[in-house]
Structure 1
Amino acid sequence: MGAAEPLRSVLWVKRQRCAVSLDPARALLRWWRSPGPGAGAPGADACSLPISEIITVEETDTHGKRSSSGKWQKMEKPFAFTVHCVKRARRHRWKWAQVTFCCAEEPLCHLWLHALQELLGKLTSRPKHLLVFINPFGGKGQGKRIYERKVAPLFTLASITTEIVVTERANQAKESLYEINIDKYDGIVCVGGDGMFSEVLHGLIGRTQQNAGVDQNQPRAALVPSPLRIGIIPAGSTDCVCFSTVGTNDAETSALHIIVGDSLPMDVSSVHHNSTLLRYSVSLLGYGFYGDIIKDSEKKRWMGLIRYDFSGLKTFLSHHCYEGTVSFLPARHTVGSPRDRKPCRAGCFVCRQSKQQLEEEQKKSLYGLANTEEVEEWKVVCGKFLAINATNMSCACPRSPRGLSPAAHLGDGSSDLILIRKCSRFNFLRFLVRHTNQYDQFDFAFVEVYRVRKFQFLSKQPEDEEGGLRERGKTRFGPMCSDTPPCCGTASNSSWNCDGEVLSSSSIEVRVHCQLVRLFARGIEEGPKEEPDS
């Protein structure tokens, strides 16, 4: 059979006579019940399997009699091959499935094996050698166990070789990526939570800029995308990045996305203060409410995961607002808006358009044309804010299935800037509750949302005065109000929550870098496909 020639045979699947077809041009394997003579036409119960979702194909030993009708009742040992593949389950989960095809003749069996293996060999996007970082302490401390039980067997099945590093301290993964030869790997996998992913992200971006001679401390520097993809095996407490890019926090699902070689470009925001890089952000950059929560929870690590609930309640009751100025450059190149109720999904049109926009900008830069960004007008908003949030993605998680900004896009070169002005506790509670339901959380007079390419925040309270104010507060109020002035008042400065890490500087400059990194992911699919039993 030639490489592009379709193949059709009558085989047996689960003791049922089936017509099986392979279309190389469409890279599609199909089978359907065919009890009568000949192959017959596919019916509504036909099963379709893209070649891209086949993990591997192997010859199978079959023993014992088949109780099927016809000549198969007399067949002592039919020849067979098994297709290991992806099967969709509920709530965006993927499962490892196997389908065994039996045939009467050995040459026919080998013909199918060769045809399928030849097509699999042409899938060049699949990784063959991966570097795996495992955080054994994150979340509930199950990272190593999750990898060994749910991920490693699938990697072995897919013939993926790995080098495993079980981290023993913070920033070990980041530092390792600066030192080792990363060119021999097809990707980096992190097993842990959002903190572990952030370590790998910073190490990979930093190493790429180092190799390219780019100064990361320059806010206007054009960062170079990394050629390596990052895979996330969720084993943390929230796993926001994984949930927002795959649609579920399931280790098997994430492992299968890595195996089939999915690729999802993602924006990254750089956060600077006084021409110094503070951190990179891919999910939430939050000042005020979310900044106070993360700073307070850092002091209560002994409480475990419940510390986030405790600090959240404490911060809500404190109800502090912060005065400052937000300046931003609107993202006029993007399609859509934060309130259009069109979430980012697999094969997203908005993200594809952004990629084209990025290529146009690169061409302009290459030929020395003026950057249109320079002539656009910055917008300025002043006031007292309960919270300032910037999201590069929806920030969805099991507690908030739609996230902080349901229509935020992963790769459109923009961030959704959400400003929550001073309001009553009751109204702020209404706003927070809407993160857990289907109502528009931006439909309040005290909430503003903008899609931006850059923004800056300048606190009204000088940062050098903040330390003295906080020290006096600690002496006077005791543990419950130690970090903030009296309740319901305007506080001095908050902290920025950058993907779960505290930034000490309140005045920052943020720029979105379009599709700077790629994940082993596909994006959230529109709806789980119900597959017939096979």
Structure 2
Amino acid sequence: DVTFHCANEELCEQWIQVANEQLALLTNRPKSLLVYINPFGGKQCGKRIYEQKVAPMFRRASISADVIVTERANHARDHLKTEANLDKYDGVVCVGGDGMFSEVLHGLVTRIQTDNGVDQNQPDAELVPCSLRIGIIPAGSTDCICFGTVGTNDPVTSALHIIVGDSQPMDVCSVHHDDIFLRYSVSLLGYGFYGDVLTDSERTRWLGPARYDLSGVKTFLSHNYYEGTISFLPAENNMGDPRDKLQCRSGCRVCQHKPSKDTRWEISGWSVIRAEFIAINAASMSCACPRSPKGLSPAAHLADGTTDLILVRKCSRLDFLRHLVRHTNKGDQFDHSFVEVHRVRKFCFQPWHHELVSLEDPIESPKKTGFSSICSAQTTSNYSSWNCDGEILPDAAIQVRYHGSITSPMQ
């Protein structure tokens, strides 16, 4: 806190008047917010963080807040879709991790599309932008979305951004299986390694954030690969390159560029790759976090209508370890013969119908016992799973389209 003292009452009133006049110029400042708190996420500190750190700041800024403490999974999503009176609010705030943000995003975007008669099951549907902004107070196991937009996972910093009305446009992509809508995504779509990590971690949720470390080690030692066909529509050349080291910052010229409406490119510009992959990652933002300050794709942009599609082909366990380690240092994680990255607007994935085997023995995988069984494939399925912003998708064959910035987090 900063407290000013003044012995002259008249001068003190002038300070207050000038301060209020300057604050009135910030027309984007919210006056009424709908707040959802996840009391179970991360270290189960969401309610305490809001009550002790955020709520006092909102009161000092004369912001009224209706608070809902969620009681089950998708509580916030369902409330936004059906019950919430959105006309009362200037924004929606979620207190939790990436999963909580995803809930609020899905509820809000779905509500807007339903109110405007948009069929979300149509992959080519044009989504209606959301006028309400979403604020994030980090309090989860993973807070990558907050870190990627603010640069830190600090509740007070995020609250200050919300109070002054800062906003950051953010791309949203829709994920479909045939003509069935599955989910929206704003950060990471990961198949193979990151999908397997998430699937395994669901079995040990009682461990809290530490479950990701355990599952990461198990998945790395398993070293599975998956066969499939990836088809993608590259972005135009003037949208930059994933390896140009041009990071997304305030006033980013790449995000200000308007994409071409030329549909001829969509007909003739598709590329197709059939291969065996350890990981397929689509990063709509850098996906930076404290452990990986650069993220999965350091030059990915928040609001350019594209994603950086990272393809990690079959390689040795040691080579894959080198690739992973470069996410934590200043090395170029794309500088490997088995890694390629493309900036794309759309992509589709179709798995091959082959038996899952280990990279250590692609012909025959003997039965493993003891410690080896822990490191073996975690499933006998032909497929991995897609990790969609921390949620598991029910289908491996998907179509993904990027819609541009239809929502703006208050960051």
Is 1:297 aligned to residue 201 of structure 2?
yes
The answer to whether the aligner puts 1:235 opposite 2:127 as a matched pair is no
Instruction: Find the residue that maps to 1:155 and give its secondary structure.
Output: helix
Give the aligned partner of residue 353 of structure 2. 461
Which residue in 2 is equivalent to 1:263? 167
Letter of the aligned partner of 1:155 in structure 2? F
Do structure 1's residue 158 and structure 2's residue 61 form an aligned pair?
yes
CA distance in structure 2 between the aligned counterparts of 1:218 and 1:124, rounded to whole angstroms: 37
Q: Which residue of 2 aligns with 1:492?
A: 382
TM-score calculated relative to the size of structure 2: 0.92
> Which of the numbers 399, 402, 419 marks the counterpart of 2:291?
399
Name the structure 2 match of 1:349: 253
- Residue 211 of structure 1 corresponds to 115
Rg comparison, structure with higher value: 1
The answer to whether the aligner puts 1:428 opposite 2:320 as a matched pair is yes
Contact 2:168 2:409 in 1 (8 A): yes
Identity %: 62
How far the C-alpha of 1:117 sits from its partner, in A, is 1.8
Conserved 8 A contact 2:121-2:180:
yes
User: What is the Cα deviation at residue 295 of structure 1?
Assistant: 0.7
What CA deviation, in whole Å up to 9, does each residue of 1:148-184 have, x standing for no partner? 0110000000000000000000000000001221111
Per-residue deviation, residues 397-437 of structure 1 (Å, max 9, x unmatched): 11111100011000010000000000000000000000000
Q: In structure 2, how many angstroms separate the alpha carbons of the residues matched to 1:482 and 1:264?
A: 40
Please state how far the C-alpha of 1:307 moved relative to its aligned partner. Answer: 1.7
- Which has a greater percent of strand? 1
- Is 1:452 matched up with 2:355? no
The CA distance in 1 between the partners of 2:129 and 2:237, in whole Å, is 20
Tell me, yes or no, if structure 1 residue 171 matches structure 2 residue 74.
yes
Deviations 1:475-530 (A, max 9, x none): x7686336346xxxxx8211101111111211100001100110101xxxxxxxxx
Check 1:334–1:243 CA distance in 2 against 1; reply closer, same or farther (3 A cut): farther
| Residues 276-302 of structure 1, C-alpha deviations (whole Å, 9 max, x = no match) | 111111111000111111111112223
Question: Which residue does 1:328 correspond to in 2?
Answer: 232
Deviations 1:56-113 (A, max 9, x none): xxxxxxxxxxxxxxxxxxxxxxxxxxxxxxxxxxxxxxxxx5362647572x544443
Q: TM-score, normalised by structure 1?
A: 0.71
Unaligned runs of 5+ in 1: 1-96, 362-369, 467-475, 486-490, 522-534
Shift, 1:115, TM fit: 3.3
Distance 1:117 1:188 in 2: 24
Change (3 A) 1:174 1:381: same
Q: Deviations over 1:372-415 (max 9, x none)?
A: 54344101111100000000000011111110001100001000
Partner residue, 2:42: 139
1:422–1:459 distance in 2 versus 1, CA, 3 Å: same
The yes-or-no answer on 1:378 pairing with 2:254 is no
- Equivalent position of 1:520 in the other structure: 410
Deviation at residue 345 of structure 1 after TM alignment: 1.1
Aligned partner of 1:504 in structure 2 is 394
Residue 273 of structure 2 aligns with an amino acid whose one-letter code is: V
- Amino acid corresponding to residue 49 of structure 2 in structure 1: I
Between the aligned partners of 1:484 and 1:172, the Cα distance in structure 2 is: 30
SS, match of residue 402 in structure 2: strand
Q: Are the equivalent residues in 1 in contact too, given 2:142–2:209 (CA < 8 A)?
A: no
What letter corresponds to residue 512 of structure 1 in structure 2? Y
Cα distance in 1, alignment partners of residues 208 and 32 from structure 2? 35
Report SS of the residue matched to 2:331: coil
Whichever residue aligns with residue 56 of structure 2, its letter is P
Following the alignment from structure 2 to structure 1, what is the Cα–Cα distance between the partners of residues 333 and 324?
8
Query: Unpaired runs of 5+ in structure 2?
Result: 357-366
Shift of the 105–322 alpha-carbon distance from structure 1 to 2, 3 Å rule, reads closer
Backbone CA RMSD of aligned residues: 1.9
| Structure of higher RCO (CA pairs closer than 8 Å, 6+ residues apart) | 2
Verify the 8 A CA contact 1:329 1:376 in the aligned structure 2: no
1:224 to 128, 144, 149: 128
Secondary structure of the structure 1 residue equivalent to 2:178: coil
Asked if the contact 1:334/1:412 (under 8 Å) is kept, the reply is no
What amino acid maps onto 1:383 in structure 2?
Answer: A
Question: Does structure 2 conserve the Cα–Cα contact (< 8 Å) formed by 1:395 and 1:405?
Answer: yes
